[in-house]
A = this chain, B = another copy of it.
Amino acid sequence: MARVYNFSAGPAVLPEEVLREAQEDLMDYKGCGMSVMEMSHRSRMFDDIIKSAEKDFRELVGVPDNYRVLFLQGGGCMQFAQVPMNLMNKHHKADYIITGNWAKRAWNEAKIYGDAVAVASSEDKNFTYIPDCSDLPIDDDADYVYICENNTIYGTEYFQLPNTKGKLLVADVSSCFLSRPIDVTRYGMFWGGVQKNVGPAGLVIAVIRDDLITDDVYPGTPTMLKYKTQADKNSLYNTPNCWSIYICGLVFKWLKKIGGLEEMNKRNEKKAKVLYDYLDQSKMFKGTVRKQDRSLMNVPFVTGDKDLDAKFVAESAAAGFENLKGHRTVGGMRASIYNAMPYEGVAKLVDFMEDFEKKNLK
């Protein structure tokens, strides 16, 4: 087996030992004679899988008892509606900080359900920075303030949470999920699609404060989309994405084993540093993001020459570095270096870039 270095922005690389365990147990999970894919979600075995997954997640992240952990379907785009349907319920107003495509789509969807106001944006510079969020015009009536904490496409990340002036903070953490320790109490809710940094696509993990889970939702909200429905049934209102929950559970165990989110953060900083340090001194490749806002997860870079970019993408793929093509709105390249990308993968990429630069610099 020749595994490539997969720099995909999501779905993305998973830890090799997790995949190996899933492979070993695929047809006969722990001697029970069936695959996890074949198990009733009401079975004792699956009950153990989902409860262990929640327990390990809570331990890793440090989720306080007054927060619920929900396993939901529909991905981020479903949350773009589900958040306002459930939480824009007092003044029917919310403030959005627009730092990229996903924040913007969340904002546009929220307008269906109430008065969604963009209180800050970095669109003026193609989302290459995080706006100053220390003193935003937060509405007195805002039911929450919404951010996308790491912007997959543009490669920016909040290293300081916004001053919400006492309002609830709601964050989409999809592309920095479990990449570093966080203080859960700073959030009213955060949620992440698991397909970037945690597990197979088709699952969102949402962490939401108890008191925000109510029946007071937007009229016409489907029963499935009320957080209360899923909270009351411990995420088993109907059959969940069992396989994804299982794989995420294995990833949580892997994270605990390597030393938890502090150790993960150290590794992520080390990986990002070797790449950013190289970019900072390169005469060919340039990062696209303001230095203090550079994401530890998604690293876009360009040569400034489209043909050269294309050549780099082709040659890097041939050398076993996959999915380095940048998003069309940024161009160039993007290396997504999520939790499961080993340091070695980034170091080898940098070697390859140095070599490419030497050969192609005019």
- Listed in ascending order, the chain A residues whose CB lies under 8 Å from chain B are 1-4, 6, 8-14, 16, 19-20, 22-23, 26-28, 31-35, 37-41, 43, 73-78, 80-82, 85, 109, 112-113, 193, 195, 199-203, 218-220, 222-225, 237-244, 247, 320, 322-323
Residue among A16, A22, A85, A200 facing the most chain B CB atoms (10 A cut-off): A200
Minimum CB–CB distance for A23 against chain B, Å: 4
Q: Return the contact of A322 from the options B22, B34, B201, B218 (Cβ within 8 A).
A: B34
Give how many copies assemble into the complex.
Answer: 2
Decide: A37 and B9 in contact? CB cutoff 8 A.
Answer: no
Decide: B77 and A74 in contact? CB cutoff 8 A.
Answer: no
Decide: A33 and B20 in contact? CB cutoff 8 A.
Answer: no
Complex Cα–Cα for A9 and B43 (A):
11
Extra A-B contacts (14), CB below 8 Å, given A1-B27, A77-B223:
A4-B34, A9-B40, A16-B27, A23-B23, A26-B26, A33-B320, A113-B220, A200-B241, A201-B240, A201-B243, A202-B202, A202-B203, A220-B220, A222-B225
Decide: A81 and B224 in contact? CB cutoff 8 A.
Answer: yes
Residues of B within 8 A of A82 (CB): 222
Residues of B within 8 A of A38 (CB): 6, 8, 11-14
Complex Cα–Cα for A113 and B26 (A):
42
Residues of B within 8 A of A199 (CB): 37
Complex Cα–Cα for A81 and B224 (A):
8
Decide: B1 and A14 in contact? CB cutoff 8 A.
Answer: no
Complex Cα–Cα for A82 and B223 (A):
11
The 3 closest A-B pairs by CB, nearest first: A202-B241, A81-B222, A4-B33
Residue among A19, A20, A37 facing the most chain B CB atoms (10 A cut-off): A37
For this complex, 10 residue pairs linking A to B, each with C-beta atoms less than 8 Å apart, are A1-B27, A6-B33, A20-B27, A33-B320, A34-B322, A74-B74, A77-B223, A80-B222, A201-B241, A202-B243
Residues of B within 8 A of A241 (CB): 73, 200-202, 241, 244
Decide: B28 and A2 in contact? CB cutoff 8 A.
Answer: yes
Residues of B within 8 A of A222 (CB): 78, 80-82, 85, 109, 112, 225
Contact A193 B239, CB 8 Å, known A22-B26, A27-B3, A223-B77: yes
Residues of B within 8 A of A35 (CB): 14, 19
Question: What residue of chain B has the Cβ atom nearest to residue A1's Cβ?
Answer: B28
Decide: A10 and B239 in contact? CB cutoff 8 A.
Answer: yes
Residues of B within 8 A of A33 (CB): 2-4, 6, 320, 322
Decide: B242 and A200 in contact? CB cutoff 8 A.
Answer: yes
Complex Cα–Cα for A320 and B65 (A):
40
Minimum CB–CB distance for A232 against chain B, Å: 13
Decide: A242 and B27 in contact? CB cutoff 8 A.
Answer: no
Residues of B within 8 A of A14 (CB): 35, 37-38
Decide: B11 and A19 in contact? CB cutoff 8 A.
Answer: no
Decide: B75 and A239 in contact? CB cutoff 8 A.
Answer: yes
Decide: A19 and B9 in contact? CB cutoff 8 A.
Answer: no
Decide: B78 and A224 in contact? CB cutoff 8 A.
Answer: yes
Q: Return the contact of A202 from the options B1, B11, B223, B244 (Cβ within 8 A).
A: B244
Complex Cα–Cα for A240 and B200 (A):
10
Complex Cα–Cα for A361 and B203 (A):
49
Complex Cα–Cα for A33 and B218 (A):
46
Complex Cα–Cα for A33 and B7 (A):
12
Minimum CB–CB distance for A30 against chain B, Å: 12
Complex Cα–Cα for A80 and B229 (A):
14
